[in-house]
Amino acid sequence: MKVIKFGGTSVGSAENIRRVKEIVLQQNESAIVVVSALGGVTDKILNAARMASIGTGYFHSELTEVKNRHYRIIEELFDEQSDDVLDRVDKLLKEMEKILTGVTLVGELTPKTIDRIVGLGERMSSHIIAKYIPGAVWKNSADYIRTDSNFGKANVNFKVTNRLIKSEFSDFKGIAVTPGFIAGNDSGEYTTLGRGGSDYTAAIYAAAIKASSLDIWTDVDGFMTADPRVISKAYTIESLSYAEAMELSHFGAKVIYPPTILPVYQKNIPIQIKNTLNPEGRGTLIAQKNANGVELPIKGISSISGIALITVQGIGMVGVTGISMRLFTALAKEEINVILISQASSENSISIAIEEQSAERAEIAINNEFEREIIKNQINPIVIESKLSIVAIVGENMKHTTGIAGKLFNTIGRNGINVVAIAQGASELNISWVVKNTDLRKTLNVVHESFFLSENIELNVFLMGIGTVGSHLLSQLKQQQEKLLKEKHLRIKLTGVANTKKMYFYRDGIDILHYREKMEDSNQDSSLDGFLKEMTDMNMYNSVFVDCTASDEVAGMYQQVLESNISVVTANKVAASSEYENYFKLKNTAKRKGIKFLFETNVGAGLPIINTLNDLVDSGDRILKIEAVLSGTLNFIFNTISAENKMSETIRMAMEEGYSEPDPRVDLSGVDVARKILILARESGYKLEMNDVKVNKFIPDEYFEGSVDEFFKKIPEVDADFEKQRKKLEEQGKKWRFVAHFQEGKAEAGLKEVDRSHPFYDLEGSNNLVMYTTERYNEFPMLIKGYGAGASVTAAGVFADLIKVASK
């Protein structure tokens, strides 16, 4: 024989009750079916009782709703021959009305009366279902489950209860339907089993008859790896041990009430959690050992909100016996439940987590208990922190797996989540910790993903700048999204985007195909402060800020972004080439926070120039010399200049074909190249400032004054001199290259003549080339060559940095 329990939602409508009937009739053995009240009915009955107790007489409206609810379901379920069940339900409704009228007259609502009233919901629903299932018989749980008279949460007398249940059901064949939640005392009065009582009722029956299984049908598929309302990727746990189920239930998983587990655990009876609305689902099996052979160290994550943390601290506690006993005795007298305990090994502090609503009573009780010690300053004034949540990871295999706690708190810390308190038992079955309510969502997502409870890694991207580079990046992201998800299990979500006019944010991810329309329709005007505030307020895990602008102001907010534990990926050279103190602070902040500050595209666009340099330095190599052609614009100019293409014409061509900035003097000045060699020198381990880089201009200073139009009017003046020098170079078999050079702590950039033997000679178009001479690569320097300019390759470099953030 098995025991089957159906919750309030499972019997909340005629359609669901039809499912209940199908499920019960599919069983191939006898069964005791335990039924809750119709969903929401218990609340209606309690509300009616409260109205009656204050003498308003308004309980009739609530009572009418309860009546209509039951009548409507009976009408939908029974085409005919419903008189019998109607009579039974009517009788119970009249009993309810009589009791409520009495409460109104005396103006008092005792726990005993409440138990009598609220149990009527289960009695009515069980009568309906017993009549609806062919061949089923109704049994009254109050006749078999014997309790004391602690009304509201009665204690079971298992010796008598087991005897009564065995006597009634040992030879029973067929289907018995019985109300959950209710019981009876020795005087024949109705009692109730408290919160989760219907689950507990089913477990009591199962343990007494040594059932083959306890099936609990509810409105969820079983225990989930996390709360699906917070984590969309949460999935059903197929198998749990009794201990794991108990821990998850204690820390907020509301699938099953914790006391339910104990009676069946003692008799080694498996519990199967199933969804009435999805009967084909596998559900969750709770048994002595995992049945599916999956050996994940973490089975699930659970959480409780509305927590207050009380800390008792003082040097007068050290070495003094009885402090803990006095603390917990004081709380027990006030019936305050302690959910979590964290104590320092020095014995000078104890922190306890309780329900927030009990904090004031707890403070008074503790102050009264330790009044003398507080007056003598042996114990500090009690500290209470509120608006907190407890998070717990649960899994029996944690005890066999090293590094769980290290990985856990490293992941949490890297995402900027502050842990207020920690607790772990010697059994290593769970690790619990306390965080602020505002960090709960992020905590759950981070931990769920970190321990492979989520199949995919998510990266939340906040993009500033959707010009040529930014728009190319989004195009590449859209093109690669499906492949990354399928092959790398990486989901890159665009969660925020801004240009100079508008910004738009969406936690679940912006459709890249329609991001421009979303921005145009957005009512949020773009501002740096507004973007930063929205990004930090969203408090999303695995966040990365991407800068595809050239703005000094945007670069100026990197420090705040990093301090918020958000990684930075930038194509903007301003920050990395700013004052060394700022550069070092940004790098150090990222390192301290365990996040990323990446700027690969600052030098050579998508070429792996900085990443390769970092690998050389990190592996112990020493950079002796760097020689590089780092300006695609200048390389284009010096590859294009000829007898037919004068210097002035070549400069205009570079601008018109998009190689140079709108004002080509930005490139001609050599400042951009100077910034790049400065960045490479710094990444090599040298402390240099921008004014330490010597720039040898090949265009006189006078041409950098005035407007762009004035520049193009005057620049032909240099054509003759350049053509003369060019011819001379051509005769010598040489070419011009604008070369950046770093050696022995000194950096410079300027025009250099190279012959055919030099690697720079054959550098075509706008390509870049970097040569690293190191202690290891001394005789034959390392060369990195390729496209060093262009929106597409720069966007690709930013994309590559994003992948690095995801794999941190």
Strand-strand pairing, 182-184 and 190-192: antiparallel
Nearest Cα to Cα of residue 193 among 211, 180, 205: 180
Contact 267, 207 (CB under 8 A): yes
User: Using CA atoms, how far apart are residues 327 and 324, in angstroms rounded to an integer?
Assistant: 5
User: Using CA atoms, how far apart are residues 462 and 28, in angstroms rounded to an integer?
Assistant: 57
To the nearest 10 degrees (0 to 180), the angle between helices 59-77 and 14-25 is: 50
The gap from C-alpha 416 to its chain's centroid, in whole angstroms, comes to 12
Give the type of residue at 129.
Answer: I
Spatial strand order in the sheet of 767-774:
693-696, 746-755, 734-743, 623-629, 767-774, 782-787
Return the structure tokens found at 59: 């309980």
Return the structure tokens found at 767: 């390509």
- Tell me the CA distances in angstroms from 745 to 623, 626, 681, one per residue in order: 10, 11, 8
Residues classed as catalytic? 676
User: Using CA atoms, how far apart are residues 220 and 508, in angstroms rounded to an integer?
Assistant: 23
Q: Is 684 helix (H, G, I), strand (E, B) or coil?
A: coil
Give the type of residue at 452.
Answer: F
DSSP H helices, 579-702, are: 580-593, 609-618, 632-640, 647-656, 665-668, 671-683
User: Using CA atoms, how far apart are residues 14 and 31, in angstroms rounded to an integer?
Assistant: 22
Spatial strand order in the sheet of 430-436:
340-343, 349-355, 300-313, 383-394, 430-436, 421-424
First-to-final CA distance of the chain:
54
Dihedral sign, CA of 499, 501, 505, 511? negative
